[in-house]
Structure 1
Amino acid sequence: MGFSIVTCDRKWATPKISPFLHSLSCTSHLWLCRTLRPGRIPMAEVMYLFQESVRRTLSPTCHGCEKTLHLLCSPPPLIAPFLACRLIALNKNPGVRPIGIGDTARRIIAKATLSLIKHDIQEASGCIQLCGGQLSGIEAAVHAARRCLDSDNNEAILLADATNAFNSLNRKVALHNIRRLCPALATILINTYREPTDLYVDGDRLLSQEGTTQGDPLAMPMYALASIPLITKLSNTNITQIWYADDAAAAGKISDLREWWDTLTREGPAFGYYPNPLKTWLVTKKGFHTIGSTTFHQTGVNVTPDGRPYPGSPIGSPGYMESFAESKVASWSALVSNLADIATTQPHAAYSALNHGLSSKWTYMCHTTPSRIMSQRLAPLDEALRKKLIPSLTGTPPPNDTECRLFALPAREGGLGIRIPSKQATHEYNASLFVTSALCNHIIKQDTHYGQDIISESLMAKYLP
């Protein structure tokens, strides 16, 4: 298959997996070979491995890992128990997002495989579908969409969304196309998705027959590659397309955008992409709102001259971006206040929730929203961190500026890693623009090639002073 594989540390072969798995004596070479190469295994060994999986244990020897990997390459009836998942329903408000929690060994195999063939996936995804593992892909999507709306050549940007996209993906068509687009990934996807799998929720069994299992590390790469043929069908010299998973953006003249939308609604269902006009917004420039409303009349698409989030960051008029930022800061401040109450009795839990979850919300917004918008509206969040959370965590009075700088240091340097957001907003936004500039330029040009030149330029911008 063209891989140059060398034996490496087992921690590298099992990235971001819980610490107890580091006891596995296995290399990435073994994971990859057993995952990407078909094989057979006696029924006795299959039953043994299934029993081990049920007990949620893995053999601490390389021999035990090898048998587990053989299991994944067995015929579909034999690996059905191995692929079964517990199903958790998350509230999307509105709607439900089903998350499948699979066996630990399956996650290890998927992560190890992706770490070795990520460049194949990136190259196959290109510069249009940005959920294929491209460096800072989601931030590049936001910056490119904002540049498209600000361009004098465009009248509006259409932000399209689909109904239950990941679960509605046409699995048969997707696997067929991925075999040609990215053969390196095709084998493991065929082995895990060619037959319906069991999903268990509250004692009931459901069959997963279409789409991807959200929670599977392979789900996002599979969706990225499965959407490439549809994106190709939608290509138009008058339209600039930007995709991040099922969140599509198209910028251009309003008449061309209507043609693009009609093509999407006509061609999308064949690939399992069902456009939802109620979740789709046409964001027009000033003076084009009436034309947009007339052109998209009776399509169900929402038309606004203000703006909308894409994905999760505001795009549109300055007034809309300011109001969006203010509402987000207010909600974050309330959450920080709740954490401060928790920190009085459970400081470790509150600290983990902040650094491993909550802080990423405003970090992402600072990366993708102009600093002139964010830095002036982060004062309530600064106050909540400085006057409520930090005192609750440390048991001391609110810190002064010098102490805040000390607390902002990472833990390895004696700090807490709690940074005051307004002090970082300008730097974070400028750094994000700099790192994603190469990819953004290729997106604007609609260059489908994602090569080593883009990767090198992005890495140099990220790590070199």
Structure 2
Amino acid sequence: MAMYALGMSVLQDVIAFEKTKVKQVAYADDLSGAGKLQDLSHWWGLIQANGPIIGYTPNAAKSFLIVKPEHYDGAVNIFSGSGVVVTKEGQRHLGAVIGTEEYKKEYVGEKVSEWVHEVDVLSAMAKTEPHAAYAAYTHGLQHRWNFAMRTIPDISPLLRPLEESIKNTFIPALLRSPVPGNDARALLELPPRLGGMGITSPEKVAEVENLNSINLTRTLTDMIIAQDAQVEIDQV
């Protein structure tokens, strides 16, 4: 990763904010930029011209330009023939999502449906192998939705079907008991050291996870917004 970043720095010297007026950040080979349409067009042209020289070949078909509805027609015109996909709805980005509220709900809804299915599968296993199912849930499955909670704001209501699956299907199968009441469910959310089982409620912790993520990454976020590449050693 560090060596890849060094290689990418050569390209980023060419497409730097001072030269393109595009605020940008790269995570491995995922390069993202934000700015005015004409500036983004110039930035994309520089990437196409200079990227392949260092082995970075941009794929237009997998590149998305997300614009506000009022700028959609202009974006289609400016990027005509480039192969870049222009959208006013939104697009997945590094496991999170950028776009309208409707697109966010659709994206998270699809992920929740997938996670509910996985909880149902694990619940079936819990009927005969409760300890293995509990270990698989707490050490594996439970972390499947952490990234979404930390990077997508205001999704607590969208996670309700997942919490209902955990409460109404997984826990009864695991404990061979009826559906727990609210007090019992709250007790099971506590970590084992406090007498619980660490089976957290995604619906409850989503906003806290998102706020914690924002606070922990604030320094880096501010530097990206300011396009300040001078990172102090103790901040890395």
Of residues 382, 385, 404 in structure 1, which corresponds to 2:185? Answer: 404
Matches within 5 A, 1:46-445: 220-237=1-18, 238-371=21-154, 374-445=155-226
Measure how far apart 1:403 and its partner are: 1.5
* Paired letter, 1:426: E
Once residues 94 and 39 of structure 2 are traced to their aligned partners in structure 1, the CA distance between those partners, rounded to angstroms, is 23
Q: Is the 8 A contact 2:17 2:227 kept in 1?
A: no
Once residues 243 and 283 of structure 1 are traced to their aligned partners in structure 2, the CA distance between those partners, rounded to angstroms, is 17
Structure 1 segments unaligned to the other structure (5+ residues): 1-219, 456-465
Once residues 286 and 356 of structure 1 are traced to their aligned partners in structure 2, the CA distance between those partners, rounded to angstroms, is 42
Measure how far apart 1:324 and its partner are: 1.0
Measure how far apart 1:253 and its partner are: 0.7
Once residues 7 and 83 of structure 2 are traced to their aligned partners in structure 1, the CA distance between those partners, rounded to angstroms, is 26
Aligned to 1:449: 230
Q: Is the 8 A contact 2:89 2:103 kept in 1?
A: yes
Return closer, same or farther for 1:376/1:280 CA change in 2, 3 Å cut-off: same
For residues 56-100 of structure 1, the C-alpha deviation after alignment (integer angstroms, 9 at most, x for no partner) is xxxxxxxxxxxxxxxxxxxxxxxxxxxxxxxxxxxxxxxxxxxxx
Q: Is the 8 A contact 2:112 2:161 kept in 1?
A: yes
After TM superposition, the score normalised by the length of structure 2 is: 0.93
Return closer, same or farther for 1:221/1:348 CA change in 2, 3 Å cut-off: farther
* Paired letter, 1:321: K
* Paired letter, 2:26: W
Q: Secondary structure at the residue paired with 1:447?
A: coil
Aligned to 1:73: none
Normalized per residue, the structure richer in helix is 2
Deviates more, 1:299-308 or 1:406-415: 406-415
Once residues 381 and 322 of structure 1 are traced to their aligned partners in structure 2, the CA distance between those partners, rounded to angstroms, is 14
Q: Secondary structure at the residue paired with 1:297?
A: coil
Q: Secondary structure at the residue paired with 1:378?
A: helix
Matched-pair identity in %: 37
Measure how far apart 1:227 and its partner are: 1.7
Instruction: Indicate the RMSD between aligned Cα atoms, in angstroms.
Output: 1.5
For residues 91-148 of structure 1, the C-alpha deviation after alignment (integer angstroms, 9 at most, x for no partner) is xxxxxxxxxxxxxxxxxxxxxxxxxxxxxxxxxxxxxxxxxxxxxxxxxxxxxxxxxx
Measure how far apart 1:346 and its partner are: 2.2
Deviation beyond 6 Å, 4+ runs, structure 1? none
For residues 281-303 of structure 1, the C-alpha deviation after alignment (integer angstroms, 9 at most, x for no partner) is 00001201111111111111100
Measure how far apart 1:247 and its partner are: 1.2
Measure how far apart 1:453 and its partner are: 6.3
Measure how far apart 1:356 and its partner are: 2.6
After TM superposition, the score normalised by the length of structure 1 is: 0.49
Return closer, same or farther for 1:265/1:356 CA change in 2, 3 Å cut-off: farther
Once residues 134 and 97 of structure 2 are traced to their aligned partners in structure 1, the CA distance between those partners, rounded to angstroms, is 28
Once residues 75 and 172 of structure 2 are traced to their aligned partners in structure 1, the CA distance between those partners, rounded to angstroms, is 52
Q: Is the 8 A contact 2:60 2:83 kept in 1?
A: yes
* Paired letter, 2:182: D
Q: Is the 8 A contact 2:191 2:198 kept in 1?
A: yes
Measure how far apart 1:454 and its partner are: 4.1
* Paired letter, 1:328: K
Return closer, same or farther for 1:356/1:224 CA change in 2, 3 Å cut-off: farther
Bigger CA radius of gyration: 1
Structure 2 segments unaligned to the other structure (5+ residues): none
Measure how far apart 1:352 and its partner are: 2.8
* Paired letter, 1:325: V
Q: Secondary structure at the residue paired with 1:288?
A: helix
Q: Is the 8 A contact 1:404 1:419 kept in 2?
A: no
